[in-house]
């Protein structure tokens, strides 16, 4: 088994455990077949790379060995001759192989369902005949996490509680921040939330003040990462709540780099929410915490973009120049040592510059900056190659080409984006490409590319997230 498949198994198990525990806590007695089906659908939406057969097992809470035991017990109960079912065969079916007709029948009996629900057959029933209206979502995992973080941050602000056993927690926070650069966000959110719950529990122990500061910092860093995931899922209100919590934890721990980073996150949320004055204010406030280093570069770039959108052209240009001057003047623990998703390397700086140049109406400069960003991502270390930022650089390169009337250049820039799987089509990417679709709508020959963008945006991470993390009323 490869390292990536083991990571996928761990993420799927973590996601399934949360969904199963939440669902079972809301019902009395054992789950019905309908509840098992609902959990299976949620697990599959959270981890679409896993087969429905495997998701069904996870919904029951069984290991592979336990599943085989249940299979043999079912055969005995129903007076069916036992088969020589092996763990290897079961795992092959979970990996996508299809069992023969006899085994399919027995597995359907075991799970009390049909072959379509186990992923062993296709359903060709028209959509309008098989879709069942679902209850509207009442709560969801992201909103709950944001509320929990906000409430706990308020308590932390006036508290001196602390924790122990920091080395492992710190290592896990660093590792999950690095994985975020290259892995799909939704399964990682499950891990982040569980890890943050551990840092909160640690804060309830009797610890030294220095340990408390470290734990508040780690809790705040996880708030920041979850704010990023929320933005990837197009959930701006929870993202803002989590970013504010990160700032509060930074203040309590005395960690100015986290405070500055969190203000940058709030600025980013405000930009996508079209609150451009708020975005500029947050970035300016962040610069009172970080005056030098890559963290300050990020804040200057956010300030430049805000000014450009406010029509303050001269100030935007000055902010771009200031960003170029401060990188070498300092470093900090969060942006440069922990790094990962918190890093702001030159490749990301050039992507941000491309966005600002577009808002300033300088498509030629935007093309130059976007190309420089993509070149740096391609030639840099693989572990620093952020698929999200690289895709956004490509999207803005496509927009710049369209502004120049170069449809061929736009199509070339779009090619790697269209190849992204749905679980990596972050919300901001769809929003950016919608601009490209608008630019194409009135241009001769642009219909095909406009349709490609429309199809791309209709199936992405925000849509998957809504299916995966919503609670249902009455469960």
d(C-alpha 298, C-alpha 456), whole Å: 29
Residues of the chain where predicted confidence (pLDDT) is lower than 70: 1-8, 127-165, 435-448, 450, 452, 454-475
CA distances from 105 to 99, 108, 116, 146, 149 (A): 9, 5, 12, 45, 47
Instruction: Give the C-alpha separation, 262 to 256, whole Å.
Output: 10
Tokens of 365: 């400069």
Domain-wise residue ranges, the chain: 3-118, 139-254
**Residue 162: strand pairing partners:** 205
- Give the pLDDT confidence score for residue 127 in this predicted structure: 57
**HSE value, Cβ hemisphere, 13 Å, CA-based, for 455:** 11
| Listed residue (15, 68, 75) closest to 41, CA to CA | 15
Distance CA 70, CA 59 (A): 14
Using CA atoms, how far apart are residues 344 and 146, in angstroms rounded to an integer?
25
Q: What is the DSSP string of 279-340?
A: HHHHHHHHTTT--SSHHHHHHHHHHHHHHHHTT-HHHHHHHHHHHHHHGGG---IIIIII-G
DSSP designation for 424: G
Rounded Cα distance, 45 and 233, in Å: 14
In this structure, the number of other CB atoms found within 10 A of the CB of residue 82 comes to: 9
DSSP letter, residue 273: T
Contact 52, 118 (CB under 8 A): yes
Nearest to 64 by CA among 48, 85, 50: 85
Q: In the prediction, which pLDDT does 56 show? A: 95
| DSSP class of 422 | G
Computed on alpha carbons and rounded to an integer, the radius of gyration of the chain in Å comes to 24
């Amino acid at each position: 088994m490869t390292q990536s498949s083991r990571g996928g198994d761990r993420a799927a198990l973590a996601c399934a455990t949360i969904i199963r525990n939440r669902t079972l806590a809301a019902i009395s007695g054992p789950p019905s077949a309908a509840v098992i089906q609902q959990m299976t659908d949620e697990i599959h939406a959270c981890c679409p790379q896993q087969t429905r057969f495997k998701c069904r097992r996870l919904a029951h809470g069984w290991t592979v060995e336990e599943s085989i035991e249940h299979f043999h017990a079912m055969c005995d109960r129903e007076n069916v001759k036992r088969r020589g079912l092996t763990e290897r065969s079961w795992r092959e079916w979970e990996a996508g192989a299809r069992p023969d007709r006899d085994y399919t029948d027995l597995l359907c009996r075991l799970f009390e369902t049909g072959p379509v629900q186990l992923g062993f057959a296709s359903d060709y029933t028209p959509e309008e005949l098989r879709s069942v209206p679902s209850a509207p979502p009442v709560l969801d995992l992201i909103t709950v996490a944001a509320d929990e973080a906000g409430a706990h941050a308020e308590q932390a602000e006036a508290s001196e509680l602390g924790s122990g056993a920091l080395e492992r927690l710190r290592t896990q926070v660093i590792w999950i921040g690095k994985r975020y650069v290259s892995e799909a966000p939704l399964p990682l959110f499950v891990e982040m939330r569980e890890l943050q719950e551990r840092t909160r529990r640690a804060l309830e122990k009797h610890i030294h003040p220095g340990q408390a500061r470290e734990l508040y910092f780690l809790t705040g860093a996880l708030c920041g990462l979850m704010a990023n995931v929320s933005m990837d899922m197009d959930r701006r209100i929870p993202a803002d709540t989590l970013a504010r919590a990160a700032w509060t934890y930074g203040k309590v721990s005395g960690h100015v780099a986290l405070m500055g980073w969190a203000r940058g996150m709030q600025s980013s949320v405000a930009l996508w929410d079209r609150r451009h004055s708020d975005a500029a204010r947050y970035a300016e406030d962040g610069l009172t915490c970080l005056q030098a280093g890559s963290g300050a570069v990020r804040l200057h770039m956010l300030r430049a973009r805000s000014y450009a959108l406010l029509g303050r052209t001269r100030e935007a240009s000055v902010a771009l120049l200031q960003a170029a001057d401060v990188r070498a003047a300092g470093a900090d623990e969060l942006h440069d040592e922990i790094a990962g998703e918190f890093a702001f390397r030159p490749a990301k700086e050039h992507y941000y510059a491309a966005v600002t140049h577009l808002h300033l109406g300088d498509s030629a400069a935007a093309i130059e900056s976007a190309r420089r960003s993509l070149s740096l991502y391609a030639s840099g270390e693989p572990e620093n190659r952020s698929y999200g930022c690289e895709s956004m650089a490509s999207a803005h390169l496509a927009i710049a080409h369209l502004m120049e009337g170069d449809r061929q250049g736009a199509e070339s820039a779009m090619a790697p984006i269209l190849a992204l799987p749905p679980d990596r089509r972050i919300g901001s990417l769809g929003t950016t490409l919608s601009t490209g679709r608008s630019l194409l709508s009135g241009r001769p020959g642009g219909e095909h590319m406009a349709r490609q963008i429309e199809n791309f945006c209709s199936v992405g991470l925000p849509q998957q997230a809504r299916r995966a993390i919503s609670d249902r009323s009455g469960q």
